[in-house]
Chains A and B, each alone.
Chain A
Amino acid sequence: MKATSEWRDLEIVLHYTGKILIGFSFLCLIPAVTSLLFGEYAVAVDFFLSFGAILTVGGTMAALCANGRRPGWMHGMATAGISWIVATVAAALPYWLSGHYLSYLDAMFDVMSGLTTTGLTLIQDLDHVSVGINMWRHLLTFVGGQGIIVLALALFSDTTGGGYGFYVGEGKDERLFPSVMHTAKAIWRISLLYLVIGTGALWLAGIAIGLTPVRAFLHGLWIYMADWSTGGFAPMSQNVLYYHSALYEALTFIFFMVGSFNFALHAAVLRGNRRELLKNIETISFGTTLSLLTMLACWGLMKLHVYPDLIALVRKGFYQLASAHTTTGFMTIYPRQFAKEWGDVAILAVILAMAIGGSACSTAGGFKGLRVGILFKAIIQDTKRLLRPTSSIVVQKYEYHGTRILSEQQVRSAALIVLMYVGIFAFASVAGCLAGFPLLESVFEAASVTGNVGLSIGVTTASIPVGLKLVYIFNMWAGRLEFMAILASFGFLGSFFKKRKV
Chain B
Amino acid sequence: MNGHSAGRKSLSPILPGVLAEIAFAIVLGLAGILICAVAIWIAGIS
Contacts and interface: CB of A to CB of B under 8 A. Distances in A.
Interface in A288-331: 290-291, 294-295, 298-299, 301-302, 309-310, 313-314, 317-318, 321-322
Nearest to B31: A291
Interface in B10-46: 11, 13-14, 16-18, 20-22, 24-26, 28-29, 31-33, 35-37, 39-40, 42-43
Contact of A193 (B16, B18, B36): B18
B46 to A, nearest CB: 9
B31 A287 contact: yes
A404 interface: no
B32 A322 contact: yes
A356 interface: no
A291 B38 CA distance: 12
Nearest to A176: B7
Interface in A143-160: none
Contacts of A266: 17, 21
Contact of A277 (B24, B31, B35): B24
Interface in A208-260: 250, 253-255, 257-258
B36 A310 contact: yes
A313 B39 contact: yes
Interface residues of A, number: 43
Most buried by A among B4, B8, B11, B22: B11
Interface stretch (A58-66, A101-109, A178-186, A361-369): A178-186
Nearest to A317: B36
Contacts of B14: 193, 270
Interface in A326-372: none
Contacts of A271: 9, 11, 17
B18 to A, nearest CB: 7
A313 B7 contact: no
Contacts of B28: 257, 287, 290, 322
Sorted from nearest, which 3 A-B pairs have the closest CB atoms?
A: A257-B25, A298-B39, A270-B17
8 contacts: A266-B21, A270-B18, A272-B13, A274-B16, A302-B42, A310-B37, A314-B32, A318-B36
